[in-house]
A and B are shown apart, each in its own frame.
Chain A
Amino acid sequence: MSKVLGEWMVLIIAVNIMFAPILSYVDSLHREAVEVVLSEGARKAAVQGQFTPEIIQEMKDTLVTNYNFAEDRISIEATQSLTARGDYLTASIQIPRGMIFILDLFNQGPDNYKKEITVMSEYIN
């Protein structure tokens, strides 16, 4: 009995450990996707002096079509008012995080990942 119990416990922990590297790699790629999309968006917004609805939609579409995020779970907050040259534009993207451990036994960390960016506007009236 104790042997069976021990083997099952080892199996459960072993399965968790086996999947941890690949799942944390996926998590890292999700973060990378958000950072890249956000910094590309910020560069476009700096020229136009605001995060226009088109820029925000484009960031969202990139995350949905290229990186397979669920559209209703991505939240983007950004400066949408026209900002003069020398003032700051800010934006943030929040996405839900996946799991690190395939069996939910250990602390998985926060549920969301949020990245913020600040860039100066180039817009001249």
Chain B
Amino acid sequence: METTLKTVLFILLFAFIIQMQYNLDADKTATRQLKSGIELAVHDAAMAVNPEKIAEGKIVFDENQAINNLKASLEANLNVRSNGGYVYTPNKTSFYKNDLYIVDLVFLDDRLGKPYPFTYEDPTYNIIEQINGPSIIAVITTESPRWFNGRKTFIRQAAVYEYKK
């Protein structure tokens, strides 16, 4: 009887450790993948530059094309799908369980007419960034795809892609 009790306690203890570890691991993996995913996505988005404006010596983003590039990149790298480019639904085989949202997407280019560098601030997402040239800033968020039930954790990552002037 004593052995049985000890065994049960031992297995419960390890079950507790395993669920805690797997949940933290899901948080960590999702954080890393979102960071890398959004960095690649803003990179691809920043490739969409209006060619006519380049002839005038200005860098102006083609916003529709940029959103399409952003969407294509996130769909390919995070195994999700989207209609408009702001809300992403995970595919069946995806690591994610809940929708991913692009909560902020800002285009800072030569249309602003501001001299570089300047400081961009967005208190909503705690962004303070020195902008040295035309840039795209994006913020992505999702609920962590934890394996076991527990407190919900939201993950938010931001990325900036900048042309240095």
The interface residues of chain B lying within 8 Å CB-to-CB of A102 are: none
Contact A25 B14, beta carbon cutoff 8 Å:
no
CA distance A13 to B14 in the complex (A): 12
* Per-residue B-contact encoding for A13-45, CB less than 8 Å = 1, 0 else: 110011011001100100110011001001100
CA distance A35 to B47 in the complex (A): 23
Identify whether the interface residues of B are mostly helix, strand, loop, or mixed.
helix
Contact A24 B21, beta carbon cutoff 8 Å:
yes
Contact A39 B47, beta carbon cutoff 8 Å:
no
Which residue in chain A gives the minimum CB-CB distance to B19? A21
Instruction: Check A95 for interface membership: any CB of B closer than 8 A.
Output: no
Interface size class for chain A? Answer: 20 to 34
Instruction: Check B76 for interface membership: any CB of A closer than 8 A.
Output: yes
- Interface of B toward A, CB cutoff 8 Å: 3, 7, 10-11, 14-15, 17-18, 21-22, 25, 28-29, 32-33, 36, 39-40, 43-44, 47, 69, 72-73, 76-77
- Interface of A toward B, CB cutoff 8 Å: 7, 10, 13-14, 17-18, 20-21, 24-25, 28, 31-32, 35-36, 39, 42-43, 46, 85-86, 88, 116-120, 122
